[in-house]
Structure 1
């Protein structure tokens, strides 16, 4: 069983490594960078830095707006999923012409979940209902190469299936998905 001291120490370690200043702006930047790190998005029309900066700026605004409900109350998984879908739709409707394929569920879930993780670790929101999904965390849950792929995910059913694998691991040590990921993520 996981105790609160262990969780608080892990939150502190995460912030020491990724957001020493406990900055919301840094959290937004880190969130978008995490979503794009192994998951290319832009096409040739977005080759200038000005266009990409503008897209990221609007993306940050939407993440920040979506996060407001998480400050007020604990939010369940269904609301998080709706936020992921909404962010995907907003970005595609606004900037789809600049994306190589489209802004996928993988981009949306990663940016929102990493942002919420930062806010949680800074004690600004309650524990998020879900955790960031990526290869590293899927491999920590025992998934091999083909099952650990995440960048192509563009439907909620596939996303939910991968999250269920993580949920089983969290259940084994009697903690939430967000707590399990925080403890496992290095």
Structure 2
């Protein structure tokens, strides 16, 4: 019962963080009851939970980016802006969920990346003025990750550890 509660809270925090400050849902959708949004979130969660199982072993940058792209491809829906999640939203959702389960000792390995958001981008050398919600492709995302890794290397930290330090000191 406690584990289910924690898992639900971690998911709620992840989806809230990924969907905030972001036009995820299409305007003018007919969903007064919220059932369409809820059904979408249930499908999305099931997809992310399946993807998370792949992180029981080391996951390369390429595989991690493929997982982000899979979230986008698998979760197309008419209730979403342009019918799909943006790259920025999908990366934040996956990276945030990985961070939370790693920090609660539910993940065997450190996440390969960190959630790219405004707090972290402000620490970037080249992307300070970039908005995470406007990350639209894997190439832009990986340029940010490379720059952030360089910042982390100054502190001799893995990117995930560095992000925790930055986030805790904000």
- Shorter-chain TM-score category? 0.7 to 0.9
Deviation at 1:46, TM superposition (A): 5.2
- The answer to whether the 8 A contact 2:127-2:144 is kept is no
TM-score (norm 2): 0.87
1:68 lines up with 2:68 in the alignment? no
- Bigger relative contact order, structure 1 or 2 (CA pairs below 8 A, ≥6 apart): 1
* CA distance 1:107–1:159, shift in 2 (3 Å): same
Q: Secondary structure at the match of 1:35?
A: helix
Q: Is the 8 A contact 1:127 1:178 kept in 2?
A: yes
* Structure 1 counterpart of 2:80: 99
Contact 2:96–2:115 (CA under 8 A) maintained in structure 1: yes
Structure having the larger proportion of residues in helix: 1
Structure 1 Cα separation of the partners of residues 45 and 152 of structure 2: 30
Runs of 5+ unmatched residues, structure 2? none
RMSD of the alignment, in Å? 1.8
Aligned residue-pair number: 161
User: Structure 1: which 4+ aligned runs deviate by more than 4 Å?
Assistant: 142-145
Post-superposition offset of 1:74: 2.1
1:86 equivalent in structure 2 = 70
1:146 paired to 2:129:
yes
TM-score, length-normalised on structure 1? 0.80
